[in-house]
Amino acid sequence: MLRLRVWLILLGADVRGKALREWFARAALRGRGSRWAWVGLTVIGVCLLAAQGWASLYLAHWNVWGILPEWKEEVWADLESCFWLDDDLDLRARAAHVYLAWFGGAIATTCLELLVLRWAFLWFRVRRLLSTRDRCFKCGYTVAGLGVMESATAADRPGADDGIDAWLTCTECGSETPAVALWGEIAERGGAAEPAASRSNTPALGPTEVPVVDTPKSQRYFRPSTPNQSRVIRVLWTRNRIRAVARVTAVAAGLALLGYAGWWTVREVGIRSQAAIALKERPAAESINAMMREGMPAQVDGRRTVAEIIAQAKKEYDAINTDFLARHKDVDDEYDAFYPDASVISSAREELKTDGDRANKQYSLLLMEEVRASNVYRLLDELPEAAAVTDHEFRPIDSTAPYSASWMGNSRSVLRICIARMKIARDASDLADFQRAARSARAIGGQFSDHGPLLNWLVAISINQTLLRELSAAVTPEVDRAWVEAVAIESANLSAPSFAESLRYERLWIMDAIGWYFSDPARVRSGLRAPELKDKLGVGAVELSILGLAEPDEPGGPRPRLGTYEENRDALDRQFEWYVGAAAVDPFERRKPTFPTQPQSNGLVIPESLSGVLGMALRGRTHAAIPRRGLELMLMIERHRLDRGTYPEKLEDIGPRALAPALFDPFSGQPMRYKRIDPAIDEFHRGYLLWSVGYDAVDDGGKMHPVTQYSAVTKSGEGTDIIINDPHGLW
């Protein structure tokens, strides 16, 4: 416990010395019952600190997040995230100040409350001591009448100058009690010896006992009285104490301010040094565009580009479609969803469930008849010979130039026309028109291959998937050799865009974005609440749960944080390196224990947001391999039928190529599954079934997902397989 001389009690104005005050302080702290009183005071202090500290954390949470927490685990989780050691550039580092301020206020309030309680206890204890001066403060034994020894005769005890005139010793416990002449506590026995029987502690003499007479030096004895307690006891803050408290407070505040200023300085220096590195390492737009142009075919004078032809075809198709809808306004009024369009005509739209579906299919075919009679088909036939040069280029994230993605929308619309044309030609057994439409579709996808970021790759792979679906749908039962060879030629000429090359460009685009973001200290100071983080980089605090990062009620997960530029750069490099390696192998290879585990970013929101996109792109690469390999197997099976007159009993009967690793199921690392079926009982009159085991890598015997084939390539398709020779085409 703190000494009374530092904090509270001083005995009255006529108490002349510090020694007397200190004795009363020690007596108050060590007297009878004081030990349990201090234990009780400690328990009260702990309870006060716990209650007020917890309330302060709740209020701090409300101050930071704007709502009161529902569970204490939520408070602990947010408190832990605020003091995450490697998150010094996050908004939570600033939120830590709020928690510290509130909790520090709770501690200060508890200390003041304890001081008040301690002062009250000492006040009553000293009053008790003064009212019971005739008893020993420690054991309660009567000390009135005991002889006293003058302080001047004891060199090791304080004297009258310190407020103590004499000392007496308790005969029961040996504790010493001071006597103050100013209070009338020392009496004389008039120079005569006083019999010991007159002392309150000595029993009466028997009739035969001889009284003992004190020596002259013991004629002074202790005779306490009850002085004016209100005059003697009072709280005193001396100038020295005020100065001492002021100095301690100033030093504590100065150290706190110095620590905060030091932390802020280190943080600011770190932010600015990271900004300098980000500005230096940010890739230049000119170099990125130069790299993109290296992968593009050279421009040929006098030849129109694919993009120019697509734009003209889209314009003419829109005009035809607008006029067609105007002429069939009555049909539009009849059905709630009337949208005749080329997209309605494809192998994936075979199932017509309602009258509206059948009306859309019927009028879409009529629309395509008008398109066929127009200039659109002629423009589509020019696409294979057109230059695949595109005008899309890299634009820095801070570029103010207007951006238009009309080329992408135009390509999607014209591709739908090509796919509808393939379907119509297949139904009409027009092989020449089927091949022309396939080549036009292949030319549209070629402008996105190997010279752009991940978005270009995704568009190219989507176009390839759509084209492969229609080519696979053309390999129907009893197809003739001419169609088989035509499909084989078109599929062989369909180039696969490089995933690794697209990742190379994507990394440069991302490095430009994070280099721009971290080059401005003002953005970094705002942490996760910076508007640019969401508006420019597509990362927002409200979407963090979608990224798989821990919520406040999940203390064990990674905490979302911004991190430093170097942390983000290194995390992105590790991720891109892993994805490049993962793209070179099939999923069954990645499941092996020897394959490197995917690097973690430890809660960095930018790499975490990117990893989701990269993961979907990697799955897309795997899914793209299935129809390509499956189509080659289907063509081999049909050639075997054309040569032998029957389907093979097993894939081994076709030849070694059917069992080559290049045609393995990417999910199992084994040959695709194959079995003969009876055409008479099959819904689509197929003579065989060819399938992949799908996402779960478990062979379910060719069990198809009841809703859609696409579900079999996602986690929702566990327990089903991917049917390759589906008459509607893959997905």
Three-state SS letters, 192-203: CCCCHHHCCCCC
Assess whether pLDDT exceeds 70 at residue 454: yes
Structure confidence by residue, pLDDT tens digits, 508-526: 888 998 899 999 888 888 8
Give the phi and the psi of residue 387 in degrees, each rounded to 5: -75, 135
Q: Which distant-in-sequence residues (6+ apart) come within 8 Å of 651 by Cβ?
A: 633, 658, 659, 671, 672, 674
296 lies in the same domain as 337: yes
Q: Per the structure block, which two tokens stand in for 592? A: 């092996």
Q: What is the mean pLDDT of residues 647-653?
A: 92
- Sort strands 166-169 and 149-150 into parallel, antiparallel or unpaired: antiparallel
Q: What is the mean pLDDT of residues 570-588?
A: 91
Q: What is the mean pLDDT of residues 114-123?
A: 77
How would residue 545 be classed by pLDDT, with cut points 50, 70 and 90? very low
How many CB atoms are located within 10 Å of the residue 578 CB? 19
**277 domain residue, yes or no:** yes
**706 domain residue, yes or no:** no
Which of 427, 462, 497 is the endpoint of a domain?
A: 497
Please report the DSSP string for 653-701 in residue order: GT-GGGGSGGGS-TTTSSPPEEEE--TTTSTT--SEEEEE-TTTT---S
Q: What is the mean pLDDT of residues 303-325?
A: 89
How would residue 709 be classed by pLDDT, with cut points 50, 70 and 90? low
Which pLDDT value is given to residue 440? 93
Higher pLDDT among residues 352 and 44, named by residue: 44
Looking at residue 209, the DSSP 8-state letter turns out to be P
- According to DSSP H, which parts of 493-528 are helical? 499-518, 521-525
Cβ(669)–Cβ(588) under 8 Å?
Answer: yes
Q: One-letter amino acid identity for 350?
A: E
CA distance to 47, 54, 93, 537, 555, per residue, from 75 (Å): 19, 9, 16, 30, 10
Helix, strand, coil fractions of the chain, as percent rounded to 5: 60, 5, 35
Highest averaged pLDDT of the listed ranges 15-19, 351-355, 550-554, 560-564: 560-564
303 lies in the same domain as 432: yes
> Buried b vs exposed e over 520-545: b needs ≥16 C-beta within 10 Å?
bbebbebbbebebbeeebebbeeebe
Structure confidence by residue, pLDDT tens digits, 612-644: 778 888 888 888 888 889 999 999 999 999 999
267 lies in the same domain as 288: no
Q: What is the mean pLDDT of residues 18-42?
A: 73
How would residue 192 be classed by pLDDT, with cut points 50, 70 and 90? very low
Cβ(388)–Cβ(446) under 8 Å?
Answer: yes
Of the candidate ranges 27-31, 311-315, 384-388, 426-430, the one whose mean pLDDT is the lowest: 27-31
**537 domain residue, yes or no:** yes
329 lies in the same domain as 404: yes
Integer-rounded Cα radius of gyration of the chain: 46
**379 domain residue, yes or no:** yes
**487 domain residue, yes or no:** yes
**466 domain residue, yes or no:** no
Which pLDDT value is given to residue 332? 73
Q: Per the structure block, which two tokens stand in for 492? A: 């062989």
Which of 589, 605, 620 is the endpoint of a domain?
A: 620
How would residue 79 be classed by pLDDT, with cut points 50, 70 and 90? low
* Total number of domains in the chain: 3
Q: Domain limits at 269? A: 239-281
How would residue 438 be classed by pLDDT, with cut points 50, 70 and 90? very high
479 lies in the same domain as 529: no
Q: What is the mean pLDDT of residues 108-117?
A: 80
Structure confidence by residue, pLDDT tens digits, 379-437: 999 999 888 776 667 788 887 766 555 567 788 889 999 999 999 999 899 999 999 99
Cβ(179)–Cβ(170) under 8 Å?
Answer: no
Q: Which distant-in-sequence residues (6+ apart) come within 8 Å of 492 by Cβ?
A: none
Structure confidence by residue, pLDDT tens digits, 654-687: 989 989 998 999 989 999 999 999 988 888 888 9
Highest averaged pLDDT of the listed ranges 23-32, 240-249, 395-404, 591-600: 591-600
Assess whether pLDDT exceeds 70 at residue 572: yes
Does the reported pTM lie above 0.75?
no
487 lies in the same domain as 596: no
**63 domain residue, yes or no:** no
Higher pLDDT among residues 718 and 645, named by residue: 645
391 lies in the same domain as 522: no
Higher pLDDT among residues 7 and 497, named by residue: 497
Q: One-letter amino acid identity for 731?
A: W
Cβ(654)–Cβ(644) under 8 Å?
Answer: no
**384 domain residue, yes or no:** yes
351 lies in the same domain as 480: yes
488 lies in the same domain as 515: no
How would residue 233 be classed by pLDDT, with cut points 50, 70 and 90? very low
276 lies in the same domain as 356: no
489 lies in the same domain as 347: yes
Angle at the Cα of 350 (from 348 to 355), degrees rounded to 5?
125
Which pLDDT value is given to residue 166? 83
Which of 231, 248, 281 is the endpoint of a domain?
A: 281
How would residue 701 be classed by pLDDT, with cut points 50, 70 and 90? confident
315 lies in the same domain as 381: yes
Which pLDDT value is given to residue 347? 59
Count CA within 13 A, CB hemisphere, residue 544: 20
Q: What is the mean pLDDT of residues 48-62?
A: 76
